[in-house]
Amino acid sequence: MAKVLCVLYDDPVAGYPNSYPRSDIPEIAQYPGGQSLPTPKRIDFKPGTLLGCVSGELGLRPFVESQGHTLVVTSDKDGPKSAFERELPDAEVVISQPFWPAYLTQERIAKAKKLKLAITAGIGSDHVDLQAAIERGLTVAEVTYCNSISVSEHIVMMILALVRNYIPSYQWVVNGGWNIADCVSRSYDLEGMSVGTVGAGRIGTAALRRLKAFDVNLHYTDRHRLPAEVERELGATFHPDAESLVRVCDVVTINTPLHPETEHLFDDALISKMKRGAYLVNTARGKICDRDAIARALKSGQLAGYAGDVWFPQPAPKDHPWRSMPHHGMTPHVSGTSLSAQARYAAGVREILECWFEKRPIREEYLIVSGGELAGAGAHSYSVGNVTAGSDEAARYRR
């Protein structure tokens, strides 16, 4: 029998909720483009409930234990004395989330002698050393598409919040003020601006579709060019690389996976080529941006604003400069873990586990690494290598 080690974020400060603002969530028949939602044999949770925290357990305990396996759930994931380190050596399956990643470094993979499967409850498996996973023959899988639309909605919200100067305006109200001039001195219309995405996969394309309604000029760059009919539908201009795109855009949103080719892509050099006073939104991965270069650009005015939903490492240390830099719209990594998205990624994890325990093939679109090579979504989106270096800094968050 297998041990399944599941790392989830902490419960709410006030305790696990016994009620919710809404009694249900809409049922989605299929994803845009026709891919079906997760199809487990059954689920043991109510969609719309909090599943991504420790008490939620992704709704997995009844299923895992009914199969005779052991489920260990923890939020204690960082440092050599963490529960994750203690439980890892005899775990066959590790489940982690992009929002609260248990970094599977080469060293941890070497310690995990029984490990065979790493599942991402969400999208984005860069918290796994993919090179080490390939060399070890592990299977790495994620729930492709489960929260892509969730993230695209967050992108539009962040762009508008930056351009319209929403967060400082809200703060004037909270502080009892009515300082309209202060509010609007950094506020513009999005209409007519040029908006571009670095990465036009499911999330990037969904963001473009939602932004089209704002009468903006759309641009994109991606290693895979969109079909001509999609370019015409969106009125989107293709750029061969990020440098070409950022030179013409007033707003840039990052929607590319993190791998060695994109690590620290937005450094001082690339940011200097952006329009002065441009806005940058990053819901992809924090490490795609050079941490200190972003802070410098906001201080100098090269960037008018930076909104991010992702950090490196995660959770970010409490002295991380993105917490205190000017003109930011940072949130914890929440864009892809709405209650709506949780229902889909929990069901997807259940589907993957059902396939694994029954020795059935895992969906091709869920695979990142399989059979000693990048596979499925991984072969399309990633390049071989490791981007987990430096993740040990996450331990500083607890201290």
Q: With contact defined as beta carbons under 8 Å apart, do 211 and 188 qualify? A: no
Q: Considering the candidates 131, 165, 314, 342, report the single residue annotated as catalytic.
A: 314
314 catalytic residue (yes or no): yes
- Domains with residue ranges and CATH for the chain: 3-146+337-376+383-398 (3.40.50.720), 148-323 (3.40.50.720)
Question: Helices 148-163 and 166-174 meet at what angle, rounded to 10?
Answer: 70
Q: Does 259 score more than 90 pLDDT?
A: yes
Nearest-angstrom CA–CA distance, 141 and 131: 14
How confident is the model at residue 255, as a pLDDT?
98
Query: What would the two tokens of residue 97 be?
Result: 């989330």
* 189-213 pLDDT tens trace: 999 999 999 999 999 999 999 999 9
> Mean pLDDT across the stretch 267-273?
98
Nearest-angstrom CA–CA distance, 280 and 264: 14
* 365-394 pLDDT tens trace: 999 999 999 999 999 999 999 999 999 999
Residue numbers belonging to the annotated binding site for substrate: 123, 147
Q: With contact defined as beta carbons under 8 Å apart, do 74 and 10 qualify? A: no
Beta-carbon contacts of residue 270 (< 8 Å; ≥ 6 apart): 242, 243, 246
Find where tokens 């929002």 sit. Answer: 99
How confident is the model at residue 230, as a pLDDT?
97
Q: Considering the candidates 97, 131, 147, 342, report the single residue annotated as catalytic.
A: 147
**Mean pLDDT estimate for the chain:** 97
Residue numbers belonging to the annotated binding site for NAD(+): 148, 202-203, 222, 257-261, 283, 309, 333-336, 381
Global pTM reads 0.97
Using CB atoms within 10 Å of the CB of residue 166, give its burial: 0 to 12 exposed, 13 to 18 middle, 19+ buried: middle
* 33-42 pLDDT tens trace: 899 999 999 9
Q: Does 399 score more than 80 pLDDT?
A: no
How confident is the model at residue 398, as a pLDDT?
83
69 catalytic residue (yes or no): no
171 catalytic residue (yes or no): no
Q: Which neighbouring-strand residues pair with 119?
A: 95, 141
Q: Considering the candidates 154, 333, 350, 363, report the single residue annotated as catalytic.
A: 333
> Mean pLDDT across the stretch 257-264?
97
* 126-185 pLDDT tens trace: 999 999 999 999 999 999 999 999 999 999 999 999 999 999 999 999 999 999 999 999
* 96-140 pLDDT tens trace: 999 999 999 999 999 999 999 999 999 999 999 999 999 999 999
179 catalytic residue (yes or no): no
Band of residue 396 on the pLDDT scale cut at 50, 70, 90: very high
Helix (H, G, I), strand (E, B) or coil at 354: helix
* 61-107 pLDDT tens trace: 999 999 999 999 999 999 999 999 999 999 999 999 999 999 999 99
H helices present in the chain, as ranges: 61-66, 83-87, 106-111, 130-136, 148-163, 166-174, 180-184, 202-211, 228-234, 242-246, 268-272, 291-300, 339-357, 376-381, 395-398
Strand 93-96 vs strand 367-370: parallel, antiparallel, or unpaired?
unpaired
> Mean pLDDT across the stretch 221-238?
97
Residue numbers belonging to the annotated binding site: 123, 147-148, 202-203, 222, 257-261, 283, 309, 333-336, 381
Q: Does 217 score more than 90 pLDDT?
A: yes
Nearest-angstrom CA–CA distance, 336 and 155: 11
Q: Considering the candidates 239, 285, 328, 350, report the single residue annotated as catalytic.
A: 285
Residue % of the chain over a pLDDT of 90: 99
How confident is the model at residue 227, as a pLDDT?
97
